[in-house]
A and B are shown apart, each in its own frame.
Chain A
Amino acid sequence: MNLQVNGKNYQSDTDLTLGQLFKQLDLSPERVVIELNQKILQTTDNLDTELREGDQLEIIQFVGGG
């Protein structure tokens, strides 16, 4: 399946849940916040959400800033 992750194309050979995508990306869900198709998701509550072809994901985290 093809996803858009942070503006870039992301291909996976198998269907994925959000939790499985995090595993593939080596990301801890509690450290990020997600928009799925421009809708904010409480990340840790939605790890079982099944992703669909063409889904757009934004994975955001805190960084230093003034």
Chain B
Amino acid sequence: MPIKGIKTMDSLVIAGRKFNSRLMVGTGKFSSNQAMQSAMEASGCEIVTVALRRVDINSPQDSMLQHINRERYLLLPNTSGARDAVEAVRLARLARAAGCEPWIKLEVTPDPYYLLPDPIETLKAAIILVKEGFNVLPYIPADPVLARHLEEAGTVTVMPLGAPIGTNRGMRTRDLIRIIIEQANVPVVVDAGLGAPSHVAEAMELGADAVLVNTALADTMNPALMAEAFKKGVEAGRMAYLAGLGPQRDKAQASSPLTGFLREE
């Protein structure tokens, strides 16, 4: 039973918009649209990311948008594939022209091996897109100084990476993300590299406001079951953060009384 006056779960607010779920889901790499839909449903997410690509004019595919209920999910287009600010801005404008709300997950990843975000081009693009009225959610290296610059530029979140995209390696940047959380005045969304419910729980325990996962759900035998596990991981981590974790100690501290033993002291 929730105790009156004690907050057990709370809403996430981004750019003045309220969300009940703190788990965002990417729609890439699912084996089928049905697998994607069942994962979205089980995750309880309210924000889903999509990408923009050229149509293959030799074999046009059905639009994946028909498989996403736009009244239920906020569509968050990304600028994946952009190698510099100019390409990212172009993709963001195309997404808006395609009828999306002006929300954009800004990604600039010129490095094809680790897909690490380019901090300079990301900041340049953010400044332009904020001026054009976009709500900008930038994917960034876990760099507290950059996070500050982006926040000052007017981005509505910062999205530091836990580990490189698709690696499932967890909170490798934990100590830096902790600093970003400590300093940020906008929601901190840990994006990329989170591969297990324990990883998202760890991010949320640290005080992250939300997480974004894709590969971890898509690249499994049972995306819906995994999505439910991630949902629980996010909720567990958030509750623990709100409750306040106990301090860590070097030496043991007894949980049972240290008096009244069955011997003479």
Residues of A at the B interface (CB closer than 8 Å) are 5-8, 10, 25-28, 31-33, 35, 40-42, 58-66
Does B3 make an interface contact (CB < 8 A)? no
Complex: chain A residue closest to B25, CB-CB? A66
Determine if A6 and B55 form an interchain contact, defined as CB atoms under 8 angstroms apart: yes
Determine if A61 and B63 form an interchain contact, defined as CB atoms under 8 angstroms apart: yes
Contacts of B60 in A (CB 8 A): 25-27
Complex: chain B residue closest to A40, CB-CB? B97
Determine if B26 and A65 form an interchain contact, defined as CB atoms under 8 angstroms apart: yes
Determine if B97 and A61 form an interchain contact, defined as CB atoms under 8 angstroms apart: no
Interface of chain B, main secondary structure: mixed
10 closest Cβ pairs, A-B complex? A65-B51, A66-B26, A66-B214, A33-B98, A31-B63, A64-B27, A64-B28, A6-B54, A65-B28, A59-B55
Nearest CB in chain A: distance from B140 CB, A: 15
Contacts of B77 in A (CB 8 A): 62
Determine if A66 and B57 form an interchain contact, defined as CB atoms under 8 angstroms apart: no
CA distance A41 to B97 in the complex (A): 8
Determine if B57 and A64 form an interchain contact, defined as CB atoms under 8 angstroms apart: no
Determine if A66 and B54 form an interchain contact, defined as CB atoms under 8 angstroms apart: no
Complex: chain A residue closest to B91, CB-CB? A60
Point out the residue from A10, A25, A42, A59 that lies within 8 Å of B54, measured CB to CB: A59
Q: Besides the contacts A66-B51, A66-B192, what 16 more A-B pairs have beta carbons closer than 8 Å? A: A6-B54, A8-B57, A28-B63, A31-B63, A40-B94, A59-B55, A60-B53, A62-B65, A62-B77, A62-B98, A64-B27, A64-B28, A65-B50, A65-B214, A66-B49, A66-B80
Point out the residue from A42, A60, A66 that lies within 8 Å of B52, measured CB to CB: A60
**Residues 11-53 of chain B, each 1 if its beta carbon lies under 8 Å from chain A, else 0:** 0000000000000001111100000100000000000011111
Contacts of B178 in A (CB 8 A): none
Determine if B57 and A63 form an interchain contact, defined as CB atoms under 8 angstroms apart: no
